[in-house]
Amino acid sequence: MYGMNFQGATRRAFTPLEKATDKVGGDYPTGCPVGLSRACPVRNFISNGVKERGSLTGFTLIELIMTIVVVAIIALPLSVMLSQQVQSTFRSSDYSSALNLARLEMEKVNNLAYDSIASGTFASYEGYPFDVTRTVNFAPGSGVILSESLKQIKVEVRKAGDVTVLAELVTYIARNVNYGSP
């Protein structure tokens, strides 16, 4: 804008923060302080006219409302997605902990003697806020083998005080079977 001369105006143009003229042609309204130079009107190259003062001084109320609406439309789904991501992270942590505790209980069962394996419920298992339930049932036999020679052990892990099972493992242990030694 510097160096341009429109309708007898000086070389210095005004910025939107300075006092703008009220009429086309660059005159100041009456009562302006002395010492201000005449402002150069800004050309609108689309209509080849001069822009009005209101278009240079800031945002209109409509523009502000539209901006708020657009930001709200974008922010609402993002906030829902963020809260679901946080919930998913905590749920995933619970599932991982429950599965690891179920594996730990299965390892303990595998190291017990056959006759020592019994049903039981353990609250706050290993200091974690999970309840572990071990259920022992005798697997049905074919009549050839004793019906009490095969045990089914089921381990269920729940969040403390909750009824929803987070992890469940099942194994079978037979009587008088040696694994790994000839």
What pLDDT is attached to residue 175? 77
Tell me the pLDDT tens digit for each residue of 97-155: 999 999 999 999 988 888 888 899 998 888 889 999 999 988 776 555 555 678 889 99
Q: Is residue 88 part of a domain?
A: no
Does residue 1 form part of some domain?
A: no
Domain extent, residue 28, equals 9-58
Other Cβ atoms within 10 Å of 154 Cβ, number = 15
- Coil, helix or strand for 155? strand
Domain check: are 104 and 49 in the same one?
no
Q: What does each C-alpha distance from 10 to 5, 14, 55 come to in angstroms? A: 6, 10, 22
In a domain, 70, yes or no: no
108 & 48 share domain: no
Residues 37 and 99 in one domain: no
Instruction: For residue 174, name the pLDDT band (cuts at 50, 70, 90).
Output: confident
Confirm whether 64 is domain-assigned: no
The alpha-helical segments, DSSP class H, found in the chain are 61-110
Co-location of 53 and 112 in the same domain = no
Q: Are residues 50 and 107 in the same domain?
A: no
Question: In total, how many domains does the chain have?
Answer: 2
In a domain, 128, yes or no: yes
Based on the domain organization, do 53 and 101 belong to the same domain? Answer: no
Tens digits of residue pLDDT in 40-92: 444 444 454 555 555 556 778 899 999 999 999 999 999 999 999 999 999 99
In a domain, 181, yes or no: no
Phi, psi for 98 (deg, rounded to 5): -65, -45
- Burial annotation 109-134 (CB, 10 A radius, 16+ → b, else e): beeeeeeebeeeeeeebeebebbbbb
pLDDT on residue 147:
54
Q: What is the pLDDT of residue 19?
A: 52
pLDDT at 158: 93
Inside any domain, residue 119: yes
pTM of the model: 0.55
**Contact criterion met (CB below 8 Å) for 105 and 174:** no
Asked whether residue 149 is domain-assigned, the answer is: yes
